[in-house]
Amino acid sequence: MSPEPLLEVTDLEVAYGDVQVIWGISFTVARGETVTLIGPNGAGKTTTLRALSGLLRPRAGQIRFRGAELSQLSAHEIVRRGVIQIPEGRKLWPRMTVEENLLLGAFVPTARRTAREHLERVYTLFPRLQARRGQLAGTLSGGEQQMCAIGRGLMSAPELLMFDEPSLGLAPLLVNELFARIGEIARQGVTILLVEQKVASSLEIADRGYILEGGRAVLCGTGKELLQNDYVQRSYLGAV
């Protein structure tokens, strides 16, 4: 018997004004799973995350988290429910220190009470952040800024952590380290929804994946199944 979904998206449709981008996609994420959404640029992956985060209002469909409908809630109310997005491009406050950026992630009242405990957890996961805790975030390297963005998201003790292109702009060695840390976060019990252009890396750590093309879900399966799928190998992994 399949576990009950933590997140359940049903027939989701999203538009920017009159331009529809998402056409009736459905997918689930069970508690404790790592699920990845992959596809070409313009497939609707980031738009999907923006709808789940409350940054875009869906045109139709349902978004249910722990059984409750999210689609009409504001972004800050969704954060309070335990759904956190690590945005593409990090979106740090560059003139604030690393630690100030991290502490701003604990603005949810329940997280504020245990902010120091969460801070130590972040520093254990990313020791380099502890060494740079008093450094301005804008002076960090790209990899360190991504660590800080992830750490800020973890400060609110999320139930569902969503990543939007976390490897963007990182050197290959840092990409490997990044995916190792995402895997470690998952092993700590955080449910993960990952949007990523590094298809092989994301499928290797994913329990399941969905292929989005043209705003529609065209294929789904376990990470292993999709890695071995002929279409995925030809279209996304460079197989001849």
Task: Return the pLDDT at 4.
Answer: 77
Q: Give yes or no for a contact between 50 and 16, defined as CB atoms under 8 angstroms apart.
A: no
Read off the pLDDT of each residue in 80-90 and give the average, rounded to a whole number.
Answer: 92
Distance CA 79, CA 20 (A): 26
pLDDT tier for residue 94 given thresholds of 50, 70 and 90? very high
DSSP of 89-133, one letter per residue? Answer: T----TTSBHHHHHHHTT-SHHHHTTHHHHHHHHHHH-HHHHHTT
Q: Give yes or no for a contact between 96 and 90, defined as CB atoms under 8 angstroms apart.
A: no
- Tokens coding 164: 């939007």
Q: Quick check: 239 pLDDT over 90?
A: no
pLDDT in tens, 106-123: 988 888 889 999 999 999
Tokens 């800024």, residue located: 145
Containing H/E element for 164? strand 160-164
Task: Calculate the alpha carbon distances from 168 to 87, 195, 200 in Å.
Answer: 11, 11, 15
Task: Return the pLDDT at 169.
Answer: 87
Task: Return the pLDDT at 84.
Answer: 97
Q: Please tell me which residue, 172 or 8, carries the higher pLDDT value.
A: 8
Residues of the chain above pLDDT 70, percent = 98
Task: Return the pLDDT at 112.
Answer: 85
Task: Return the pLDDT at 2.
Answer: 58
Pairing of strands 191-195, 160-164: parallel
Which top CATH class is 1-82+159-240?
Answer: alpha beta
- Whole-number mean pLDDT of the chain? 94
Give exposure, 121-135, as e/b (b: 16+ Cβ within 10 Å).
bbbebbeebbebeee
Residue partners of 69: CB distance under 8 A and separation at least 6 = 62, 63
Distance CA 208, CA 210 (A): 7
Q: Quick check: 240 pLDDT over 90?
A: no
Residue partners of 232: CB distance under 8 A and separation at least 6 = 199, 203, 211, 219, 226
pLDDT in tens, 39-66: 999 999 999 999 999 999 999 999 999 9
pLDDT tier for residue 90 given thresholds of 50, 70 and 90? confident
Q: Give yes or no for a contact between 191 and 29, defined as CB atoms under 8 angstroms apart.
A: yes
Read off the pLDDT of each residue in 154-182 and give the average, rounded to a whole number.
Answer: 93
pLDDT in tens, 192-231: 999 999 999 999 999 999 999 999 999 999 999 999 999 9
Give exposure, 168-187, as e/b (b: 16+ Cβ within 10 Å).
eebeeebbebbbebbeebbe
Residue spans in the chain of domains classed CATH 3.40.50.300: 1-82+159-240
pLDDT tier for residue 95 given thresholds of 50, 70 and 90? very high
